[in-house]
Amino acid sequence: MPTQVPTAPSDARSRLDVAADLLALLRESRTEPRPDTQLEALTLAVAADLPVLLWGEPGIGKTAALNQLADALGLPLTTVIASVHEPSDFSGLPVPGDDPAERGVPMAPPDWAVRLVRGGHGLLFLDELSTAPPAVQAALLRLVLERRIGTLRLPPGVRIVAAANPRSSAADGWELSPPLANRFVHLRWTHDHEVVVRGLGGIWPRAALPRLDAERLPAAVDLARRAVCGFLTARPTLVHRLPGGETHRGGAWPSPRSWEMTLRLVAFATAAGASREVLSLLVRGTVGDGPGLELLASLDRMDLPDPETLLADPAGAVLPGRGDLRQAALDGVVDAVRNRPERARWDAAWALLVRALETGAPDVVVVPATTLASLRREDWDVPAAIERLTGVVSLSRRADAAARRASAATGAGR
């Protein structure tokens, strides 16, 4: 066998230097403005100073997203893996002084907390949260909600973001305790094929805090309060509803605390002009899918035009473009006529239905037209406009009857 000549130390160092250059080139990347709903939801929650918990399978890019977010916002990133710490690391380490009987035993905070307080700002990243045992989760309660570690209080410039894997894919995973889960905005973190491909090519989406319109702040707060308070007035059973299953208790669910967080998110989303998709992720991630979707539907209804305004000027009325909102607006008009039945209002409602037929899908007028027809008084003449709607209603009824016959035939053939 040929004798191998050992590599000289200086030669080995030069080869490592070249390897380091290659690694540096591989780490180089840049960002680009690109619509990313989940990234926008994350940055909006961070701006609102609410703790966020990113849920996703291992390797999905949660940690990379937090590193990129910290770089984009110019915040130092402090990563703490909760599962490798003791409860005392979050509640404070007892340090006996000269005279414990007189002065007591102070609880000294860990070094990372001291650095955050001294810096005045930063991004605290609690990673692998679902691998933290119950005792550690209990110690985290005060940190997440009150932002206290031992005798220190984190300054307002520090934001808290956590990440967790589902219990099924976490190493020695635990379900989150309900008190800890209820302190977070839960965001499901998924990968986008195009984002991953462009990111591997060196171009990632740019994370940026939302631009809040200063002139819209009072109106945004007013809208958020009216929306949440009005909704909970109509749905009092949703003020506090602890889920029955252990898994659901470790996620988003409604409580006075999470509704307060939701109110803040609605105000921030309104002031930032955020899309409905972003708001949906945030609201459902705070109070759960069911209550969140109900609140979003309530927000949609708040944007509906006043039925009395529509009845006052049917020819110039502007109806919502979305079919569900348009039908809700027409239903509101019919309810207004029912509450104050007058011949002029009845005629105006028919004129509105005709306008809806001319400017949108005909199916949305079927139910309002049928209901409005049932409100006719004996001394009210049938308006000429009703002739234009008769065919639509008749066609819809024939379609419904055909669907029922098809369903019955399918059931009989089984």
At which residue do the structure tokens 């309002």 appear? 368
Q: Specify the pairing of strand 77-81 against strand 121-127.
A: parallel
Mean pLDDT of 277-286: 96
Distances (CA, A) of 183 to 176, 262, 390: 11, 12, 55
Detail the DSSP E strand segments found in 20-109: 30-32, 52-55, 77-81, 93-94, 107-108
Lowest mean pLDDT among 122-126, 248-252, 385-389: 385-389
Backbone φ and ψ for 254, nearest 5 degrees, come out as -80, 135
The CATH classification number of 32-94+106-205 equals 3.40.50.300
Helix 386-412 to helix 366-373 angle (10° resolution) is: 110
User: Which residue type occupies 223?
Assistant: L
d(CA 350, CA 394): 17
User: Which residue type occupies 167?
Assistant: R
CA-closest candidate to residue 209, choices 281, 274, 276: 274
Higher-scoring residue by pLDDT: 321, 241 = 241
Model pTM?
0.74
Q: Which segments of 340-385 does DSSP mark as H helices, in order?
A: 343-359, 366-373
At which residue do the structure tokens 């019919």 appear? 334
Neighbours of 6 (CB within 10 A): 8
Distances (CA, A) of 146 to 125, 160, 384: 16, 11, 66
Lowest mean pLDDT among 41-45, 70-74, 251-255, 335-339: 70-74
Mean per-residue pLDDT of the chain: 84
Q: What is the pLDDT of residues 328-363, one digit of tens each?
A: 888 889 988 999 999 999 889 988 988 888 888 877
**pLDDT at position 372:** 87
The DSSP call for residue 169 is: G
Q: What is the pLDDT of residues 128-157, one digit of tens each?
A: 888 888 888 888 988 898 888 877 899 999
User: Which residue type occupies 208?
Assistant: A
Backbone φ and ψ for 357, nearest 5 degrees, come out as -65, -35
Hey, what are 138's tokens?
A: 């209990």
d(CA 239, CA 233): 9
At which residue do the structure tokens 């089984």 appear? 414
In our burial notation (b when 16+ CB lie closer than 10 A, e otherwise), range 356-368 reads bbeebebebbbeb
**pLDDT at position 169:** 61
